[in-house]
Structure 1
């Protein structure tokens, strides 16, 4: 079961992945690609998101069906950030997404069984230095992109809400429905 947990910054991804990992230690955890960057600037830009898209896609391509892995963020997250930058007029690359980014997203998503979306809601608030405008724009873009079957590669998509226990239970139910653990 190859799982990707997606959502904008400060949406609860790390908490859900941690809760899941504690309950299912047989799963390999893939951290947020940001943690794997050698040099990341403080200001999010298209280059930073493209680098993370590449990391998240390449690592998903390594796993065969039947692998037990849960990833914090996938390529769809970073395609959503690129979309959000465009919509906010902050794009550093004119003309939309590079075709390679879309192609890489499609190829990697073919290696995902379950895409878990954490839409904004509830009471997680971020300070101004966390760019709430980008956070909301990315959330909108991610939810829209997750409706595009051409990008999803057959992955089942669920939106989870509620507290930590409710979110974990929703993921476990989806895994059971798919014939997993």
Structure 2
């Protein structure tokens, strides 16, 4: 099974991935693409998100990573960040670029069995400091939730689930969801 954990920054993705991987070592773990791009891209920018979208899309292809995997972030995350930046300050660039990145995202998501989205909710017990760019965090969350409802982007066959709650509740929900899809 190929799982992507999506959500805005400081939404609990790393924790869910780590907790799941500890209990399911048969899954390859694909870290946040931010860790795989040049440190030149440390600043929040459209160029950084484009680079991360490319990395996250490429690694989902079965020729790149075979077998069962759990990925922290997929190209959908970065498409949502780009839309959020556009909503906040219009900095994403051309319409043609966004169309091309949407197509890259659509193609990459065909190699995913389960998309798990961690939407922002007050019950998740995640402390976020003011230096986390809260406007971008909220706007990206909204853009991501819009994208998961768009079959033109994610397709109509992708199994998608939103998981909320405490750390333990999220892990339990993820494991139950994986069990359901594996047995189907």
Provide closer, same or farther for how the CA distance between residues 155 and 13 of structure 1 changes in structure 2, counting only shifts above 3 A.
Answer: same
Matches within 5 A, 1:29-68: 29-62=29-62, 67-68=67-68
Query: Alpha-carbon deviations, 1:49-99, whole Å to 9, x = none?
Result: 000000000000135998210000000000000000011124141437532
CA RMSD of aligned residues (A): 1.9
Provide closer, same or farther for how the CA distance between residues 96 and 7 of structure 1 changes in structure 2, counting only shifts above 3 A.
Answer: farther
Partner of 2:178: 175
Deviation at 1:11?
0.2
CA distance, structure 2, for counterparts of residue 58 and residue 133 of structure 1:
29
Deviation at 1:166?
0.9
1:34–1:40 contact (8 Å) kept in structure 2? no
Query: Alpha-carbon deviations, 1:112-161, whole Å to 9, x = none?
Result: 00000001123323222210000000000001100112222322110001
1:63–1:111 contact (8 Å) kept in structure 2? no
1:129 aligns with 2:131: yes
Structure 2-normalised TM-score? 0.91
Matches within 5 A, 1:113-124: 113-122=113-122, 123-124=125-126
Structure 1-normalised TM-score? 0.92
124-133 or 17-26, which moves further after superposition?
Answer: 124-133
CA distance, structure 1, for counterparts of residue 138 and residue 40 of structure 2:
22
Aligned residues: 180
Larger helix fraction of residues:
2
1:159 aligns with 2:148: no
Q: Gaps spanning 5+ residues in structure 2: where?
A: none
1:82 aligns with 2:82: yes
1:2–1:65 contact (8 Å) kept in structure 2? no
